[in-house]
Structure 1
Amino acid sequence: MTLSSHMPAEPNANQNDPSLEASRANRPLKAPVIDHGLIRRDQINAIARLTPWSMASNVLCSGIFVVATWGYFPQQTLLLWLVAVWGMSGLMLWSWARRRNALPATASRAAVSRTLRYAFLLGLPWGALATFMFGSSPLEIQLLIAALATGMAFSGGYALAAIPTAALTYTLTILAPLMVQCLLHPSVHLFALGAITLIYGTAFTASILSQARLTVSRAIDNQAVAHQNHFLWLLLHDFERNAHDWLWETDVSGRLNYCSDRLPAMLGRERANLLGLPLASLANGVPDPGWTLLAERMAALEPFNDVNVPVKIDNEVRWWALTARPAFGEEGEYFGYRGVGTDVSALRRAEEMRLAKEEAERAYVAKSRFLAIMSHELRTPLNAIIGFSDLIARETFGPIGEPRYLEYARDVQENSQHLLGIINDVLQMARAENGLIQLDEEKFAVQQLLEAIPRLLNAAAASGRVKIEIVPCPRTLTLTADYRLLKQILVNLVSNAIKFTPPGGVITVTCKAGENGSLLLSVKDTGIGVSAKDLEHIFEPFHQLDDQLQRRRGGVGLGLSIARQFARAHGGDIVFESVPGQGSTATLVLPSGRSSSTVSEPDTIL
């Protein structure tokens, strides 16, 4: 007993016909309608199954009668009668042999009418026997005729019982003349024989009608079962066509004996080439503990759910999730496994990416925490170095006496300040990445913020022979933000511009209104610009535009990253545009709601 043996199948259906596939998809489901053509077909087929036996008894009984009565009737009459019986029997056998291998899909009323004619012609010789030979025969011959005619009537009627009218036609054609002869004969014995024949004929007629009702009922039930199977077939076909899963079944040895269409399509193989293969052979040589677990469960006849196993398809390893349970018969006999499979390759890739992302995030957080801790631990002794070198350089406690010591002290102080700036940048970046930025918001004038930039960076600009220009903006324009962080953003942007602007260049700082009420603070330089390749990575931490440039200009590549983190903490962003050889423009975009135009002095003035 296999799954395939229980699967409803459409008769004479070519599973690979595309036109049939389309018709199946759009075929409506209808309530079962009684097809009388199918019922007539089943009736005729039932008669055809008994035709050889019926004709054999016809030939045998007619031969017995001729042999038994050879001396009682003219030989020519007996031979003519025998030829008629055997001729009709031979004609029926020839018709049966011609049609037995080409049974019709349906039957018309004409086929039933043809069967009625055959029944009449078959019964006619026996009826003629009772009509023309019964009255003038001795009693023993009359009894023989009555016995043979009655036997042929009942046996032939039974063979034709699937079509009641044909059975009655055949039976009455034989028995009616016999009963008339018996009932009209003066002999009491023959009268009793006629009465008995009438009673048995009536009972036989009732039996035929009952058998006919049973045949029609069985045909109707068969049609209902066929409709149900058709419905189940359509339901299963739609499930297989629309679902991403596939059905499969193995025998007791673990070999496939059924699989739905999706599995051969996925593997790019014919279904016939898959049936009979062990289930584990579908892996195509890819070892995995999942296949081992599957084999252990199947050996123990245990069900399993969502066991992930790898398979190799077109040199690509994909993953299936298999779910199945063992199948047992009514008496507990084991038939194999029946289950469902699903391609979960996309889910596994998504899960692997999620785990990799979580691992990267944990590593990133660990790195940021490490940098924050190390920056703090380094800044404490560095501040002491800066303080002591400043005392030495100022000769606070008296002259040193050796000028070179003073020069060394200033070098120590300058490089310590530079190292402290790098450590502060790393610490700020670590705090930003860990979400530790806290805004201390206040209201201040935008012009006041812009004017603070030259005071902080004039020395660096003069060292690089670069000019910083501040385009005035209305003093009534104010901002509500963290003044210290915004100042740090502009300092980082202007410092970056100073590094990459050659001597004689100009750096311009402007402010203007943007779309939807936003405020734009721009830093434009006439420097070397940034290539399109480097522009994609301009805000990445520790990104270096060029190693030699960085060695000449200093910095570790955190200024722009920190500036963007501070901008996004305010709900804004930084947009960087550049043309190689012409310069760059970095614009701080602050959202609407943070700026306003009112007459107010800033709370903080630096």
Structure 2
Amino acid sequence: HDAATPPPADTKWYARRDVIGRVAGGAFLPLAVSLGRVPGTDGFCAVIHDITRWKRAEETAEKARAHAEAANLQKSTFLSEVASEIRDPVDAMIGFADLIGSESLGPVGNERYLEYLDDIKRSGHQVIDLVTILHDLAKVESGRMELNFEAVSLAEIVSEVTAVMAPKANRQRVIVRTHLPSSVPPVVGDHDTIRQITTNLVANSIRSTPAGGQLIVSIKYEVETGVSLRFRDSGVGMRQDEIESALRAPGAGQVSSGAESGRLGLPLTKALAEANRAELSIASTPGEGTLVEVRFPPARVLLD
């Protein structure tokens, strides 16, 4: 078909292929060829487009993607190595603090020193928690975390986690309630990481809720949306920019007030949810509380 004469508007197009053409000088040229049948005749027409610009744009985008993936892998590897290097000396510090506190080699001599040892151990365990989160986050980002997908009962996990966290909630004077209907079906996921997600979110809610407040952990099933795991607290709440910051990186979200592990815990929790093919969302109002929802889509729900 003459390039100067466009094909009829009602031409029926059958195929489009990307091919390599050769110009008069011998150089190669990427082309897109569309083949169609001219209506009312037995003839066919072909339209050929020079797609050099599109191919160059694709190559540029592919190089940028590969560069970003390499940079992300390098960052994850670095975080994992740093976490491993920090863990051993901190473990040793905690061990020596335990040994001194036991006074097995002789009395410490002053009660204040024993209090300082408790401070050392407490701080050491906080560092270990941070290192563990960094290590896990690096594994998730680099795709090296092994997951065992199976049928998981969210009700059982919530019951276990809230029982373990009860002493912490009691110390904070936060009431923890659960709503776990037996009609909610299990989901397909990794038991250990879903338990970690639940633990992180319960701990964050307790941490951000003032004395006398409450946390309600519930599960719900809807045919259209799947199974939801919800954490609703009456804590200090967050602005939208604080939510975005808390999910993106260690930031200023009130949900992690006073605890560095909480700041890192939300990005890790979001990454673990996505690794389980679930979606984490946060809705919050300053002064009124926060609702965190982990939703497993219908494709991840096991029905009888």
Q: TM-score, normalised by structure 2?
A: 0.74
Residue in structure 1 matched with residue 2 of structure 2 by the alignment: 235
Quickly say closer, same or farther: Cα 1:401–1:305, change in 2 above 3 A. Answer: same
Residue 205 of structure 2 corresponds to residue 497 of structure 1: yes
* 1:28-82 deviations in Å (ceiling 9; x for gaps): xxxxxxxxxxxxxxxxxxxxxxxxxxxxxxxxxxxxxxxxxxxxxxxxxxxxxxx
Q: Which residue of the other structure, out of 488, 495, 499, is the alignment partner of 2:196?
A: 488
Contact 1:477 1:595 in 2 (8 A): yes
Residue in structure 2 matched with residue 222 of structure 1 by the alignment: none
Greater relative contact order (CA < 8 Å, ≥ 6 in sequence) = 2
Secondary structure in 2 matching 1:424 = helix
Residue in structure 1 matched with residue 276 of structure 2 by the alignment: 570
Q: Which runs of 5+ in 2 are unaligned?
A: 7-23, 30-48
Q: What aligned pairs does 1:428-507 form with structure 2 within 5 A after superposition?
A: 428-441=136-149, 445-474=153-182, 478=186, 481-507=189-215
* 1:273-322 deviations in Å (ceiling 9; x for gaps): xxxxxxxxxxxxxxxxxxxxxxxxxxxxx947379xxxxxxxxxxxxxxx
Quickly say closer, same or farther: Cα 1:530–1:345, change in 2 above 3 A. Answer: farther
Residue in structure 2 matched with residue 354 of structure 1 by the alignment: 62
Q: What aligned pairs does 1:293-442 form with structure 2 within 5 A after superposition?
A: 303=25, 305=27, 344-345=52-53, 347-441=55-149
Question: 1: distance between equivalents of 2:26 and 2:252?
Answer: 55
Q: Which residue of the other structure, out of 211, 226, 229, is the alignment partner of 1:518?
A: 226
Question: 1: distance between equivalents of 2:256 and 2:178?
Answer: 27
Secondary structure in 1 matching 2:177 = strand
Question: 1: distance between equivalents of 2:196 and 2:77?
Answer: 22
Quickly say closer, same or farther: Cα 1:409–1:480, change in 2 above 3 A. Answer: same
Contact 2:161 2:195 in 1 (8 A): yes
Secondary structure in 2 matching 1:552 = coil
Quickly say closer, same or farther: Cα 1:455–1:383, change in 2 above 3 A. Answer: farther
Residue in structure 1 matched with residue 266 of structure 2 by the alignment: 560
Question: 2: distance between equivalents of 1:439 and 1:463?
Answer: 34
Residue in structure 2 matched with residue 583 of structure 1 by the alignment: 289
Secondary structure in 1 matching 2:145 = coil
Q: Please tell me the residue identity of whatever aligns with 1:375.
A: A
Contact 1:517 1:593 in 2 (8 A): no
Q: Please tell me the residue identity of whatever aligns with 1:405.
A: Y
Secondary structure in 1 matching 2:97 = helix
Q: State, as a whole percentage, how many aligned pairs show the same letter.
A: 25
Q: Quote how far apart the aligned CAs of 1:484 are.
A: 2.0
Question: 2: distance between equivalents of 1:509 and 1:467?
Answer: 11
Q: Quote how far apart the aligned CAs of 1:468 are.
A: 1.8
Contact 1:544 1:556 in 2 (8 A): no
Contact 1:446 1:473 in 2 (8 A): no
Q: Please tell me the residue identity of whatever aligns with 1:575.
A: S
Quickly say closer, same or farther: Cα 1:570–1:366, change in 2 above 3 A. Answer: same
Higher strand share: 2
Q: Which runs of 5+ in 1 are unaligned?
A: 1-233, 240-301, 308-340, 599-606
Q: Quote how far apart the aligned CAs of 1:411 are.
A: 0.9
Q: Please tell me the residue identity of whatever aligns with 1:526.
A: S
Q: Quote how far apart the aligned CAs of 1:524 are.
A: 0.5
The higher radius of gyration belongs to: 1
Secondary structure in 2 matching 1:503 = coil
Question: 2: distance between equivalents of 1:449 and 1:512?
Answer: 14
Quickly say closer, same or farther: Cα 1:459–1:394, change in 2 above 3 A. Answer: farther
Secondary structure in 2 matching 1:522 = strand
Quickly say closer, same or farther: Cα 1:480–1:358, change in 2 above 3 A. Answer: closer
Q: What aligned pairs does 1:41-120 form with structure 2 within 5 A after superposition?
A: none
* 1:547-593 deviations in Å (ceiling 9; x for gaps): xx866343362212222222222222222222333221111222447
Question: 1: distance between equivalents of 2:151 and 2:63?
Answer: 44
Residue in structure 1 matched with residue 45 of structure 2 by the alignment: none
Secondary structure in 1 matching 2:258 = helix
Quickly say closer, same or farther: Cα 1:396–1:525, change in 2 above 3 A. Answer: farther
Secondary structure in 2 matching 1:238 = coil
Quickly say closer, same or farther: Cα 1:441–1:237, change in 2 above 3 A. Answer: closer
Higher helix share: 1
Q: Quote how far apart the aligned CAs of 1:355 are.
A: 1.8
Quickly say closer, same or farther: Cα 1:556–1:516, change in 2 above 3 A. Answer: closer
C-alpha RMSD over aligned residues: 3.7
Question: 1: distance between equivalents of 2:3 and 2:277?
Answer: 55
Question: 1: distance between equivalents of 2:104 and 2:273?
Answer: 42
* 1:235-273 deviations in Å (ceiling 9; x for gaps): 35337xxxxxxxxxxxxxxxxxxxxxxxxxxxxxxxxxx
Residue in structure 2 matched with residue 65 of structure 1 by the alignment: none
Question: 1: distance between equivalents of 2:53 and 2:251?
Answer: 36
Question: 1: distance between equivalents of 2:3 and 2:253?
Answer: 62
Question: 1: distance between equivalents of 2:221 and 2:208?
Answer: 27
Secondary structure in 2 matching 1:529 = coil
